[in-house]
Each structure stands twice: as C-alpha cells, then as structure tokens.
Amino acid sequence: MADLMTIGEFATATWLSAKALRLYDQRGLLCPDAIDPFNGYRKYSPAQIETARLITMLRRIEMPLKQIGELLNLSPGEQAAQITRYREHEAEQYARRQSLARFLEHAVGHGSLDGVCQPGASRFEVATRRVPDTPMLTSTRRTSARELPEVIRSSADRLFALAEGRGGPAGGLVVVYHGQVGWESDGPIEVCVPISYRDRAHRMEPGHEELFTRVLADDVQFPRILAAFEAVRVGAVQLGFAPTGPPREVYAPGPGEKIPRCEVALPVIAQES
C-alpha cells in the first residue's frame, strides 16, 4: 500500500474536500481503493485522480449526484454525449427563466399575471381561416407548464412515428388545451398529428372556422405565449364570434421554411345579431 494516498493527500490532488470524498464514498461514486483494517483510514490510488477531478468539475456545473453516478458507468464517448445533453437542457432552462423574468418585468409594471389581459396581446394580428374535417392521431396527457415542452416533444415523437405506418402525417403538430396549463394547473392537453385516412385515425377533428395569430419564436415560451391566447380571445369578441372549441397551438413550417412556425388558434362561429 506504499503507493496509495491518504484521504488528505488525495483531497489536495483532486480539489475535493475530505468531507466530499466521504460523501462520494457513501453514494458509491468514488470508493477508496483500500481501507486500513486496523484504523479505518481510507486510502486512494493515483489512478483514481482523473475520476475524482471529473466528479469535481461535474459538480461545478451543478450536475446532480445521481446523474454523475450514471455518467461514470459510461464509455468516454457516451459520457461526452451525456454532458452535451445536460448542457443543452441547462441552456434551455436558463432561456426559459430569462423569458419568464422579462415577462414579469413587463407584467408587474403594465399588465396582469393571470390569463386575462395579458401584456402585449394588442401586438398580435388576428385573422380567420377555414379548417376542413381532419383525421387525427392523438395523445392526451395532464401536465403543468414546467413539464409541458417535454410532454409535447415526447408525445409528438411517438405520434409522428405512428403516422409513418398509417400513410404519413398530413400536416403539422396541433396541441389542444382542454384545460388551463400553468405552474399549478395541469390541463389536460391533447397532442395531435393529422393524417390522410379516416379509418386509421384516433378521431376526427370536425371542420370549423378559426381565428389564429402567428407567434414569433421569442414569444412561444410560457407564460409569454399567453398574450397570443388572449389576442385570439379578444379578437373573437371584437369580431362577433363565439368559441366552439378549446384553443390550440399549431406547429407547421411555412413555404420555404425548415423551422416550424407556431400559431395560436381558436375555433369559432359567427354569433347571430
């Protein structure tokens, strides 16, 4: 054991405290190479230094211990891929927090924090269009705003894969909000992919007229997108329409576009005078 390092020596070499090393031993992340049977002292091998430094750096980017434990069991290539996924997830979370902070800055000073009279609603241009009867593949889930993007993404992946075996998708993704989605409310939402064949669909979306408005990329994040929902609601009132169904988001690329555009829509019917 002459070449083994004491916990103090190993802590100095790896930028970790003795307390952290004991914790990582308890969690099974970094166990001593040997333990003295007489005094219980932990001894570490120089070969463990690289793993310890990797753990140190992963903790500095605030990766959870459970996730670090999973990463340590992967090959170097898989480790790099997992770190990339973590970085992208953290960047997405940061962007959402920034978006929410900007929304709150505006809302606290000029608008409302609930779903009514959302600040910025007046800047959305509202138009009408006719939507034909549409066969749909669908998946209904309950979700809060926090989990909403991942629920939409996973449901869409599953439905588009299913659509490939049923003649292929016939349009862009539609997300129908059957209930309110917020930090404390959970919908439900219905994720839909249109297909061409009625007999292969989960349900038919009846043909209808709808009001819609296009949402720019910066405004798609919750809660900024609530202003677009408010715009179509107010537009319906001003134009003499009554809602005939729940509001929805429609994601489809426009002519010559690769990135799907987002539209917020509301099925309506003209009210009698």
Q: What is the pTM of this model?
A: 0.60
pLDDT, residue 253, reads 72
The residue segments making up the domain with residue 226 are 121-270
Q: Across residues 160-188, what is the average pLDDT? A: 93
Lowest mean pLDDT among 33-42, 143-152, 216-225: 216-225
* Segments in the chain forming alpha helices (H): 7-14, 18-26, 49-60, 65-72, 76-110, 148-164, 226-239
The total number of structural domains in the chain stands at 2
Is 98 inside any structural domain? no
> Does residue 94 lie within any of the structural domains?
no
The residue among 72, 102, 129 that closes a domain is 72
Helix (H) and strand (E) counts for the chain? 7, 12
240 and 165 share a domain?
yes
Q: What share of the chain is helix, strand, coil (3-state, %, to 5)?
A: 40, 25, 35
* Mean pLDDT for the stretch of residues 239-253: 93
- Could you tell me whether strands 42-44 and 5-6 are parallel, antiparallel, or unpaired per DSSP bridges? antiparallel
Section 106-116 average pLDDT: 57
Range in 33-37, 113-117, 264-268 with the lowest mean pLDDT: 113-117
Domain identity same for 50 and 144: no
Instruction: Find the range with the poorest average confidence among 4-18, 73-87, 194-208.
Output: 4-18
Per-residue pLDDT, 117: 47
In a domain, 128, yes or no: yes
User: 249 and 144 in one domain?
Assistant: yes
Report, as an integer, the average pLDDT of 239-260: 84
What is the pLDDT averaged over residues 77-85? 95
End residue of a domain, out of 72, 103, 130: 72
Q: What is the CATH number of the domain that holds 28?
A: 1.10.1660.10
- The mean of the pLDDT values for the chain is 87
Per-residue pLDDT at 10 exceeds 80 = yes
Q: How far apart are CA 244 and CA 128, in angstroms?
A: 14
User: Does pLDDT of 97 surpass 90?
Assistant: no
The confidence score (pLDDT) of residue 128 equals 95
Residues 129 and 249 in one domain: yes
Residues 158 and 227 both lie in one domain: yes
Residue 9 domain-assigned (yes or no): yes
Q: Are 159 and 260 in a shared domain?
A: yes
Query: Is 100 domain-assigned?
Result: no
Query: Could you tell me the pLDDT band of residue 98, with boundaries at 50, 70 and 90?
Result: confident
Burial classification of residue 207, based on how many CB atoms lie within 10 Å of its CB (0-12 exposed, 13-18 middle, 19 or more buried): exposed
Winning range, highest mean pLDDT, from 98-112, 119-133, 159-173, 255-269: 159-173
Average pLDDT over residues 218-242: 85
CATH number at residue 180: 3.20.80.10
Task: Average the pLDDT over 141-168 and give the result.
Answer: 94
pLDDT at 257 over 70: no
Same domain, 63 and 174: no
Mean pLDDT of 11-23: 88
Same domain assignment for residues 143 and 233: yes
The sheet that has 42-44: what strands, in order across it? 5-6, 42-44, 34-35
Asked if residue 99 belongs to a domain, the reply is: no
Checking if the pLDDT of 116 tops 60, the result is: no
DSSP secondary structure of 190-201: EEEEEBS-GGGS
Rounded CA-CA distance 76/208 in Å is 54
Asked if 66 and 151 sit in the same domain, the reply is no
254 shares a domain with 166 = yes
129 and 241 part of one domain = yes
Same domain, yes or no, for 60 and 131? no
Please state which of the ranges 46-55, 56-65, 161-170, 210-219 shows the lowest mean pLDDT. 210-219
Q: Considering the domain boundaries, does residue 254 fall inside one?
A: yes
Based on C-alpha coordinates, what's the Rg of the chain?
26
Task: Note whether residue 85 is domain-resident.
Answer: no
* Residue 261 CA from chain centroid, whole number: 17
